[in-house]
């Protein structure tokens, strides 16, 4: 959530779903309270602000002050809602895909970090968080049916993570 809007507790939500959406029909979102703790909030109303932003009114958030407390918190959707609202071609749709380098499965994509010239995929490799760049030089192909992403990573990239 990026900002409070108005005086009645409305919030502006920035999303990476890859298409304009008002989250029509969604009942609840989950807001990250602490690193691994999520609180459900029921959606009273939502409307499109722009391709990547939504005006969101949540139950029990009725003042600007209450909305300001929500700013900068991470928002999550249930998997069924995510699948319904995410554009298939959006980078975030790669969550949960297997990442394969030179024929070897290196891990499942746990998080997508979008940057101006590349996308970073976070995976766990031998218990360590690893950031894998996806761009023209590394991405070979995506198999959406089987949820696999083939990459050709620079020699030594994975070894950096393994040795630290």
Look up the CATH number of the domain holding residue 68.
2.40.30.60
Summarize pLDDT for 68-91 with one digit per residue, the tens.
Answer: 999 998 888 888 888 888 887 788
Show the beta-strand stretches assigned E in the chain: 3-5, 10-14, 28-34, 37-50, 53-58, 75-76, 98-101, 104-108, 111-114, 119-125, 128-134, 139-143, 148-151
Q: What is the mean pLDDT of residues 46-73?
A: 93
Same-domain pairing of 19 and 72: yes
**Structural domains in the chain (count):** 2
Summarize pLDDT for 7-35 with one digit per residue, the tens.
Answer: 999 999 998 888 888 888 889 999 988 77
Q: 150 pLDDT exceeds 80?
A: yes
Same-domain pairing of 7 and 77: yes
pTM of this prediction? Answer: 0.66
pLDDT > 70 in the chain, percent:
99
Q: Which domain holds residue 114?
A: 91-163
Which residue, of 85, 105, 138, is where some domain finishes? 85
Same-domain pairing of 76 and 99: no
* Residue 116 DSSP label: S
């Amino acid at each position: 959530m990026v900002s409070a809007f108005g005086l009645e507790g409305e919030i502006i939500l920035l999303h990476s779903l890859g298409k304009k959406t008002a989250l029509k029909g969604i009942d609840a979102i989950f807001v990250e309270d602490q690193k691994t703790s999520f609180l459900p909030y029921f959606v009273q109303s939502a409307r499109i602000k722009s391709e990547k932003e939504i005006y969101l009114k949540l139950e029990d958030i009725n003042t600007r002050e209450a909305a300001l407390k929500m700013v900068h918190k991470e928002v999550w959707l249930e998997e069924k809602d995510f699948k319904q609202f995410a554009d298939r071609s959006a980078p975030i749709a790669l969550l949960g895909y297997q990442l394969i380098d030179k024929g070897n499965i290196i891990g499942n994509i746990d998080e997508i970090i979008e940057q101006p010239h590349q996308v970073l995929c976070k995976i766990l490799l031998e218990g360590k968080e690893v950031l894998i760049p996806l761009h023209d030089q590394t991405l070979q192909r995506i198999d959406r049916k089987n949820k696999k992403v083939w990459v050709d990573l620079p020699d030594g990239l994975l070894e950096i993570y393994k040795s630290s």
